[in-house]
A and B are shown apart, each in its own frame.
Chain A
Amino acid sequence: MGPYYIDLHKTAVQTQQKSLEGYVGFASLPNQVYRKSVKRGFEFTLMVVGESGLGKSTLINSLFLTDLYSLEYPGPSHRIKKTVQVEQSKVLIKEGGVQLLLTIVDTPGFGDAVDNSNCWQPIIDHIDSKFEDYLNSESRVNRRQMPDSRIHCCLYFIAPSGHGLKPLDIEFMKRLHEKVNVIPLIAKADTLTPEECQQFKKQIMREILEHKIKIYEFPETDDEEENKLVKKIKDKLPLAVVGSNTIIEVNSKRVRGRQYPWGVAEVENSDHCDFTILRDMLIRTHMQDLKDVTNNVHYENYRSRKLAAVTYNGPDNNRAAKGPLSTKSPLAQMEEERRDHVTKMKKMEMEMEQVFEMKVKEKVQKLKDSEAELQRRHEQMKKNLEAQHRELEDKRRVFEDERSNWEANQRLEQQKMEASRTLEKNKKKGKIF
């Protein structure tokens, strides 16, 4: 980031309100968005979970008014499994010019075994693997098509016992509520009278609250009217549904329903069950929100946990214990670590330099000292020798002086003696004659 402009990132962006004096035209932006989205088409992935025989396939068929599950493609209850499987089927449906690629994820075998411990694990693994796929495709260098196969909504079917949630229900919802939007439904609601249904619903909501399970929440809007509707729905949670594959004639109307000797339970009759509420909420009003919550909340949670694990996977594991998750990217984290390391290295380098310098100084000093010492001794010895030399010189001089004096003396004496002897000789000689 160069110095050529005001850095938007650091200073708070100051925006000014401006009023327009005429029609500009960007109000058509929503239309442009609409057009583009229709052209692109839509995707939605729905997961259904519940024991076999609770009418899951029938409900899906009723919701989408189509034979998703038919004789050729039987629903999960027809497939008896020993362990929980996760299967998906994709269908492309069109309506009013809008294309929807609908993926239904089945979990046959859930809750059907004698020992159901960990039967939720394959489901959790499946959801995570879809997140993983998305994360990988989002993180590629070359990002082309990013198909979104993440689970947007999980419909959880509760058996209509009338007495409350089963331990399996609670376990499942507790483990999945932070991974996917969970919408609990009371299945085969036509076995409950309205009062029983009310009681049951209250009991379930109490238990959900007690276990702190976060089921999908309808977002608040600014619109008063909408908020009233949302409140009405909230009061009816969990929704009690009935599904049907057959069309029956009631009062000369053709309706989907279940024919009993005592009457017809109509699927789309809001006095009989909450099916229409579910359909309206799931498809007509909140489908986009379910996708947004999956993208902005559940996926982001998965992603941040995954990336944090990567970052803290190094030798400095003590970091993981410190404080909340950092918001930096792993790369920024590495940059920081690198800078820290550079500082550390610089310090180390400086310290080592210091120690080195000190040692060198010491040694050099020692060397200097011994040199001085030796030099001193040498000087001393030299002086000594010189002194001895001088002493010897002096001695010699004295001696030589003495000798030359003596020799001179001797010569004189000799001469004297010679002279006296000669005189004596001459005297004697002379006298004899």
Chain B
Amino acid sequence: MAANEVDVFAHEEKRNLELGGHVGFDSLPDQLVSKSVTQGFCFNILCVGETGIGKSTLMNTLFNTTFENEEASHYQSEVQLRPQTYDLQESNVNLKLTVVHTVGFGDQINKGQSHKPILDYIDAQFERYLEEELKIRRSLFNCHDTRIHICLYFIAPTGHSLKSLDLVTMKKLDSKVNIIPVIAKADTVSKSELDKLKIKIMSELVSNGVQIYQFPTEDEAVAEINTSMNTHLPFAVVGSVEDVKVGNKMVKARLYPWGSVQVENENHCDFVKLREMLLRVNMEDLREQTHARHYELYRRCKLEEMGFKDTGPDSQSFSLQETYEAKRKEFLVDLQRKEEEMRQMFVSKVKETEAELKEKEKELHERFEQLKRMHQDEKKNLEEKRRDLEEEMNAFNRRKVAAETLMGQALQGCSQPFKKDKDKKN
């Protein structure tokens, strides 16, 4: 729905003109309405509350029908969300209603993460819409809007005030979704206790800064009823799908031995107020708030996260094209840089390894040079020894020869020994 027409009348230079007759554009709202009716409406309710607190029963009572819901056990290991979509029709209005229940909420021993699945679900629906909105070819008017329009938070009627789980969860949800707290199974609380409980709950919400949905009071047509209803929050509700005979009428009630609690009796509980506010008076406002406030907040955060800005460093507004182009350039530069980095890394790795290997080569050469030198020394050594031996051998040979010559001489001398003596005597 084009809910983007905001009151711009204050900003334009325009003339106010009187009409000289019936032109007929006062049918514009009707034209708009008939289009919306043909398109059909979407409404999505999230019910958050402990197992067995009466969420399904309340939905059935609110919509006068039986929605399928299996009873949940208390043994879920984590909180799960179960959405169901229904097509309802009343007179000429087609409503696509999605009811989401939290299954297993409040059952775990450690409830610290209980709120997370709920937040994730709400964000996922926003994300889905945002994705569609950012597509090049989109069909927003055809899209099935699954964003949660209202979160009914069920408060247990036992105890004197909110549980810490309630406070923590509601605080986390209040900036993401419209919250209406309800006191469930209000037939277990007496009137005076109920009043005290309501006051206590509201003051706790205020003191903790939890922003629950306020029924709008700007529109004169509904300002009065909305203001009065705002004072009755949280609504104390009772749900029942059983018909009980009271007087001569069949009404929805819960039958006790001491009487029957009638769902639609305003003295007994605030069910009628809830129905009035939720469905008959403020449904459209809930849808609008979800779109214009909660969704915009999500969108803004998401886009800022992605690095989008409205104005540049010199506060010049960017057009969409410039923004996308800038992003794309940035993106491409980033990719190129990554590629370069990788290449550089490789180049340096190669250089390193090359240097290492060169080192090793050098070492090897040095080693072998050393060995070569050792060899040379050894060889020299050997040569010397050889020469020594040669010399000795030569010396020996000479001795041998000398000895032999002497021997020869000696032998000769032996055969002429007298001559020698004779010579001597003479």
Contact = CB atoms under 8 A, between A and B. Distances in A.
B349 interface: yes
Contacts of B80: 4-5
Nearest to B124: A1
Contacts of A300: 137-138
23 contacts: A4-B81, A13-B144, A15-B85, A18-B86, A20-B65, A22-B64, A24-B90, A24-B279, A42-B5, A64-B19, A65-B21, A93-B16, A100-B28, A141-B299, A141-B310, A147-B6, A148-B5, A280-B24, A327-B138, A328-B136, A337-B331, A360-B357, A378-B368
Given A33-B284, A143-B299, 8 more contacts: A15-B85, A18-B67, A25-B276, A27-B90, A37-B33, A92-B15, A287-B28, A310-B325
Contacts of A338: 331, 335
A97 B134 CA distance: 37
Contacts of A89: 15
B338 A345 contact: yes
Chief secondary structure at chain B's binding surface: helix
Contacts of A78: none
Given A33-B36, A101-B8, A328-B135, A16 B87 contact: yes
B24 A284 contact: yes
A350 B304 CA distance: 36
Interface stretch (A132-140, A173-181, A227-235): A132-140
A200 B288 CA distance: 49
A332 B41 contact: no
Nearest to B320: A139
Interface stretch (A106-114, A188-196, A258-266, A288-296): A288-296
Interface of B: 2, 4-9, 11-33, 35-38, 41, 43, 62-68, 78-93, 95-96, 100, 116-117, 120-121, 124-125, 127-128, 131, 134-138, 141, 144, 146, 219, 221-222, 275-276, 279-285, 288, 296, 299-300, 303-304, 306, 308-310, 317, 319-321, 323-325, 327-328, 331-332, 335, 338-339, 342, 346, 349-350, 353, 357, 360-361, 364, 368, 371, 375, 378-379, 382, 385-386, 389, 392-393, 396, 400, 403, 407, 410, 414, 417, 421
Chief secondary structure at chain A's binding surface: helix
A37 B29 contact: yes
A121 interface: no
A237 to B, nearest CB: 20
Interface of A: 1-2, 4-9, 13-30, 32-44, 63-68, 73, 89-101, 132, 135-136, 138-148, 221-222, 279-280, 283-289, 291-292, 295-296, 300, 303-304, 306-311, 313-315, 325-332, 334, 337-338, 341, 345, 348-349, 352, 356, 359-360, 363-364, 367, 370-371, 374, 378, 381-382, 385, 388-389, 392, 395-396, 399, 402-403, 406, 410, 413, 417, 420-421, 424, 428
B310 A21 contact: no
Given A24-B90, A141-B310, A356 B346 contact: yes
Contact of A41 (B5, B23, B280, B320): B5
**Nearest 3 pairs of A and B residues by beta carbon:** A96-B26, A4-B117, A329-B134
B8 A147 contact: yes
A143 B302 CA distance: 13
B6 A29 contact: no
A30 B342 contact: no
Nearest to B14: A90
Nearest to B65: A18
